[in-house]
């Protein structure tokens, strides 16, 4: 549970930093680049938020299967 929480905190921190970077790029009138960056990162984090729970669930299932096999 702790590694999952740490991962989520890390993702949130990275997302905030990236958001500030994107806003900085917007201020520098690189709107298209910043929006592209935001779009790519939003898709990336959406995929990540789908994949992470799947990995956790699959690892728990594998753990249960190993315990049942023993």
- Residue-wise pLDDT for 10-26, tens only, equals 888 988 998 888 788 77
Q: What is the pLDDT of residue 31?
A: 66
Question: Tokens for 44?
Answer: 């990336």
Dihedral angle computed from the Cα positions of residues 24, 5, 2 and 55, in that order, rounded to the nearest 10 degrees? -110
Identify the helix (H) or strand (E) that includes residue 34: helix 31-69
- Residue-wise pLDDT for 25-53, tens only, equals 777 766 677 778 888 888 888 888 888 88
This model's pTM is above 0.95: no
Question: Tokens for 3?
Answer: 């590694």
């Amino acid at each position: 549970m702790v590694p999952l929480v740490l991962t989520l905190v890390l993702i949130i921190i990275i997302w905030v930093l990236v958001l500030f970077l994107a806003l900085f790029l917007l201020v520098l009138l690189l709107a298209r680049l910043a929006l592209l960056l935001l779009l790519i990162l939003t898709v990336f984090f959406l995929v990540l938020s789908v994949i992470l729970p799947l990995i956790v669930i699959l690892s728990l299932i594998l753990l249960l299967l190993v315990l049942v096999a023993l």
